[in-house]
Amino acid sequence: MQATIPAVKPARPYFSCGPASKRPGWSFENLQNAALGRSHRSAVNRAKLKLAIDLTREVLEVPADYRIGIIPGSDTGAVEAALWSMLGQRGVDVIAWEAFSEHWVIDVVEQLRLPNVRATVADYGEIVDLSSLNFDNDVIFAWNGTTSGVCVQNGDFIPADRKGLTICDATSAAFGQKLDWDKLDVVTYSWQKVLGGEAGQGMLILSPRAVERLETYTPAWPIPKLFRLAEKGRLIEAIFEGETINTPSMMCVEDYLDALSWAKSIGGLDALMARVEANDRVMSDWVERTPWVAFLAKDPAIRSTTAACLKIIDPAVTSGGKQAEAAFAAEIVNFLEAEGLAFDVNSYRDAPPGLRIWCGATVDAADLEALTHWLDYAYERAKAMLFAEAA
């Protein structure tokens, strides 16, 4: 039976997990006030960088006594700055359940070569045993696994009286999922995820406990300038007032300011999370009624609301093994892209073959709803081609 071609196409077919879709109504005209051709240390651009920090605090609801800095190298640079500047005073528990947090395991174990490290890596779609963590140590983890669709639901597993620092990579959680600030000492993210900004700069948010670590502890190794957050036992305060370590793109800064202003205009963090939750409902309802697909994370309690990571479970496809699954998924992805229906919905290169669909706050639920019908059509089309070739 031939599948019916859906009547409605997504108005904005941008479902990449990063850089993610621009906000609804975005255009280059929104960036016309960027002070281009001016030094980032000029008064006008320092004011813009400081405004980016201030709006971040307001929209993300960051506590007043936490520092916020703009760091080069996107989320990776922000995490690296924290690891190289703070670790080594006590033991470390570093945990991973997706590709990027595995890089932090490599950094701690193979690059910094710290002596007292417990590293635990879960399979895709799974999470580590959070009750096994030792919070006398510094604990490093990702709140939301963009490449696996797995996340922690809250900070209840973190004790208030911990001795170590909690270092949280929140790059695909910030602005889309509720962060428990009193349980987090270091939080990092990049502009290109939930707010749909451009790449290149990361955000580093420090609790008073993290600042104390920087001002009372000096690592045994040299710290590159790009990662240096303290000098002579004092926090480099200028970083947290808009004086960036290196030269940022002021066009990208303007774009981030535009995204923050849009977030504020629709109701702030609650409104952003409501949009994410509406998108998650669309995807969850579709997966529940669709027999050929499933979430990579089987347990709903650890399932991401921003990054829907999916696997194909049709026995006609899976019986051919990983290579057949990858080829089938690629057929769906290539068709959707060729028809302008969805861009960049392939699974992450190191993840199991399947689909990965961004459900962040800049995506409209109506576009996701339209996409689900095209996914069904693309699946039937790919399956018909598969059986035709087999015959």
pLDDT class of 185 with cuts at 50, 70, 90: very high
Q: What is the pLDDT of residue 74?
A: 95
- Average pLDDT, integer, range 157-178: 97
Q: Domain end: 215, 247, 264, which one?
A: 264
Q: 351 and 323, same structural domain?
A: yes
- Whether 11 is in a domain gets the answer no
* Whether pLDDT at 363 is above 90: yes
> Is there a single domain that holds both residue 205 and residue 283?
no
**Among 215, 242, 264, which residue terminates a domain?**
264
Mean pLDDT computed over 79-108: 94
Same domain, 40 and 186: yes
Q: Do residue 62 and residue 120 come from a single domain?
A: yes
Q: Please say if the pLDDT value at position 304 is more than 90.
A: yes
What whole-number distance in Å separates Cα of residue 140 and Cα of residue 104?
8
Same domain as 272, residue 247: no
Instruction: Please check whether residues 66 and 189 belong to one and the same domain.
Output: yes
Domains contained in the chain, number: 2
Query: Does some domain include residue 13?
Result: no
How large is the average pLDDT for residues 56-82? 97
pLDDT at 313 over 80: yes
Same domain, residue pair 252 and 283: no
Residue-level pLDDT at 2: 60
Residue 390 has pLDDT above 80, yes or no: no
Where in the sequence is the domain holding 339, given as residue range(s)?
Answer: 268-390
Do the domain assignments include residue 20? no
327 lies in some domain: yes
